[in-house]
Each structure stands twice: as structure tokens, then as C-alpha cells.
Amino acid sequence: MHRPRPRTPAQKHRPTLHAAAICALAALLAGCQSSPVYYHQSPLRHVVVLDKREISVLQLDDNRWEAYGGKQGGLFTTDMDLQRNRQIEAIEKVSGCKVTTAVYPPDQSDEHLLMQALVDCSARLGG
């Protein structure tokens, strides 16, 4: 009769470590959809290039949009204004509607990379 070899302490805890790693990965991936990195990689995004800078634009619902990117690279107010105008222009190009309100979410306001905007499509742009 063959007796199974006793398991070492590391072998006894291996299933627990695998389960913990899987849970950590699942938690990390669940947060990706609301992170700025998600927007730049989403297959639903539209990429607009303005002033040689890429801006990813996503539609959230009928009149809510988000723009990510277009960073100017400077710290001056004029640089931030250029970036804001670039993001608004990208949303208007993709949606065909006029941006009425544009804000940076409080948790994303340090670099102003992610903008959330409301649009009014009652009067289409260019028409």
C-alpha cells in the first residue's frame, strides 16, 4: 500500500494564496472601468487629435460625455485653458452637439486629464 507523501506548510497554503491573488486581480480589474486608463483603452472611444495631442472621447448616455487626454504639458493658466478648450472641441466634434457644461471630477482635478461634459443636441453644430 502506498501512502501519500505529507504536504509541506507551503503546499498547504497554496490554494489560499491562489484565491487571494485571484480576488486581488478581480478587485483591480473592477476598478479599471472608472479609471482614466480605461477611457484611453476602451474600444468604444473615439480618438480626436488636436494640436498633435490625442484625446479619447466616450459617450456615457444621451447627453453626457467624457474626454481624456490632450495635456498641454505646461503649468500656466493659459496652458490649462488650451487643454480645456481642446477637450471641449473634441467632445463637440464627436457628438456633433454643443458642450453646455464641462467639469473635472474632484478626484481627477489635479492634472485635468479627465473631463465630464453635458451637451445640448437641440441645435446641432455646423447646421
Q: In terms of residue numbers, what domain contains 48?
A: 36-120
Secondary structure of the chain as H, E, C letters? CCCCCCCCHHHHHHHHHHHHHHHHHHHHHHHHCCCHHHHHHCCCCEEEEECCEEEEEEECCCCEEEEEECCCCCCCHHHHHHHHHHHHHHHHHHHCCEEEEEECCHHHCCCCCEEEEEEECCCCCCC
Predicted local distance difference test score (pLDDT) of residue 100 = 96
Residue 58 lies in a domain: yes
Residue 109 lies in a domain: yes
pLDDT in tens, the chain (127 residues): 667 676 666 555 555 555 555 544 444 444 444 444 455 677 788 999 998 888 999 999 989 999 988 876 656 656 788 889 999 999 999 999 999 999 998 886 667 788 999 999 986 666 5
Count of structural domains, the chain: 1
Residue 18 lies in a domain: no
Predicted local distance difference test score (pLDDT) of residue 92 = 96
Residue 17 lies in a domain: no
Residue 14 lies in a domain: no
Predicted local distance difference test score (pLDDT) of residue 40 = 62
Predicted local distance difference test score (pLDDT) of residue 28 = 41
Residue 110 lies in a domain: yes
Residue 30 lies in a domain: no
Residue 40 lies in a domain: yes
